[in-house]
Amino acid sequence: MEEIRNFNLLNKKNIVLLMGFYIMAIPFQKIIWLPRVNSKIQVSEIIFIFIFILLILQLKDFIWKNTKIIALDKAIILWLFIGIINLISNLDLTTLIEFSGQFYLVCLYFLIQFLFITFRFKEIESFFISSFILQLFLIIITLLLGLILLTQHINIGVFQIFYSYPYFGDLYRLKVLTNEPVMLVSILSIPFWIIIALMDGKIKVNSIKKRDLILSMVFIGLMLLGTFGKSLPFILAILFLYFISHLKSKNKGIIFIRIFTAFFIISSILLTHIMVTKKPFREKEVYGLAIPFLRIDNYYLYKSWYYVQKENAIKEFIEHPFFGCGGGNLLNVINLKYKESEETISRPVYDPLSTYTGILAEYGISGFLAFLFLMFTIYKEVVRLPDNNGLKWIFICSFSYFMLEAISTDIQNFRHLWILIGFLGITLRNLQYPVNS
């Protein structure tokens, strides 16, 4: 009873605990649905509001002279500034909602800086690993519960059916309670690289046994395979490069593996954008155009939605080269043009299907350059981390995966990506301005 009476929510350790809950809540993306914003506001956003308010109440006790602006801060502030310009240039409800999400994620980044600025590196590392491992544990528990309920004919949505899925036909793909399978892959990628770093000895955690790591890796592997995700080759390729980076020799075998890995990645990207089949017409099938653009012997090549959507985005960029058509507006513009043309062929209007071309179309060249600058800053700062920093390898592998995933997925508003960027920021800040006590 004495402990309950002395409980203080404003205690920084309790606020850090809420941040752990925020990270663990990220995979649960189908709990809340609201008009206009659909499923964009979830349990994690409610937790964020609590954390934000509690930290606001602590501002008077914050020692501002200890804060320093680092290069990553500047790149993120520039990205937010471009968002403000984009909102002013294309002021409408869709762009306002999109900017609200951008502002929220930038606030998330700086909230992490504020929350962990007095923490020593080992404390930051321990929190980062523990939160994502517990997140993985919750995903596994949810999946097992969903499978048990399916035996009782109760479907909570751990699988999503895809009809006429390219190369596989009708297919049930694992997503647990995320929006879609590709989201589950991207969320699982972070604990995947954490476990790789733990198994490889890059990070020392005595409380986690090796058999638990192996069991966790088995679960992640099975879940990743169950998604049938297009980005699985990216994870495998980065894993190859991670292990050959440990080899000091530069023999022909290593050079061959690197060439093969590059070929593996390029082939995966091509097969995502171009579908190859022996069917001369795909009238009743989805995920691409019905008429082939090329025939090679008995094989027909079709443009997939990923290809088509990039064409649409580039056309919009040509029409609005400087500031784009407005954040979140690409799909509205495409849909409107389809209606005006009275086209009867089904077209994708549900996602930009690429971060790069999506930003180019919605934010113009100014936003695209700001995004490239942010990516360049992230990689520059990660590479400069000392090799004995265990998080360095997690950051390298994770950001490499996300940058490849961005070719065919709009990742700019992924909460877990911005959590990753936030912890990179506090790691850099801790190294440049170490905490002594």
The 10s digit of each residue's pLDDT in 385-425 is 998 888 999 999 999 999 999 999 999 999 999 999 999 99
Residues in the chain: 437
Q: Residue 218: is its pLDDT beyond 60? A: yes
The crossing angle, in degrees rounded to 10, of helices 415-432 and 71-89 is 140
Mean pLDDT check: name the lowest of 61-75, 186-200, 316-330, 344-358.
344-358
pLDDT-derived band at 159 (thresholds 50, 70, 90) equals very high
pLDDT, the chain, mean? 87
Q: Residue 185: is its pLDDT beyond 60? A: yes
Question: Regarding predicted confidence, which is higher, 192 or 64?
Answer: 192
Nearest to residue 125, comparing CAs of 230, 202, 46, 63?
A: 202
Tokens of 232: 């699985």
What is the DSSP annotation of 286-345?
Answer: -SB-SS-SEEETTEEEEEBHHHHHHHHHHHHHHHSTTT-S-TT-HHHHHHHHHHHHT--S
Residues with Cβ within 8 Å of residue 20, at least 6 apart in sequence:
127, 130, 131, 134
Q: Is 248 helix (H, G, I), strand (E, B) or coil?
A: coil
pLDDT-derived band at 350 (thresholds 50, 70, 90) equals low
3-state helix, strand, coil split of the chain in percent (to 5) is 65, 5, 30
How high is the pLDDT of residue 398? 96
Mean pLDDT calculated for residue range 113-131: 88
How high is the pLDDT of residue 2? 47
How high is the pLDDT of residue 32? 82
Is residue 215 within 8 Å of 65, Cβ to Cβ?
no
Residues with Cβ within 8 Å of residue 232, at least 6 apart in sequence:
185, 224, 225
Task: Give the integer Cα–Cα distance in Å for 74 and 90.
Answer: 24
Mean pLDDT check: name the lowest of 24-38, 239-253, 317-331.
239-253
Amino acid making up residue 107: C
Q: Residue 30: is its pLDDT beyond 80? A: yes
Would you kindly state where each structural domain of the chain is located, as residue ranges? Answer: 1-62, 76-118+304-437, 134-229, 251-303
Sign of the dihedral defined by the CA atoms of residues 251, 256, 400, 142, in that order: negative
Mean pLDDT check: name the lowest of 132-141, 170-179, 326-335, 403-412.
326-335
How high is the pLDDT of residue 138? 96
Q: Is 162 helix (H, G, I), strand (E, B) or coil?
A: strand
Q: Residue 349: is its pLDDT beyond 80? A: no
How high is the pLDDT of residue 380? 95
Q: Residue 341: is its pLDDT beyond 70? A: no
pTM, two decimals, is: 0.92
Task: Give the integer Cα–Cα distance in Å for 56 and 381.
Answer: 29
pLDDT-derived band at 221 (thresholds 50, 70, 90) equals very high
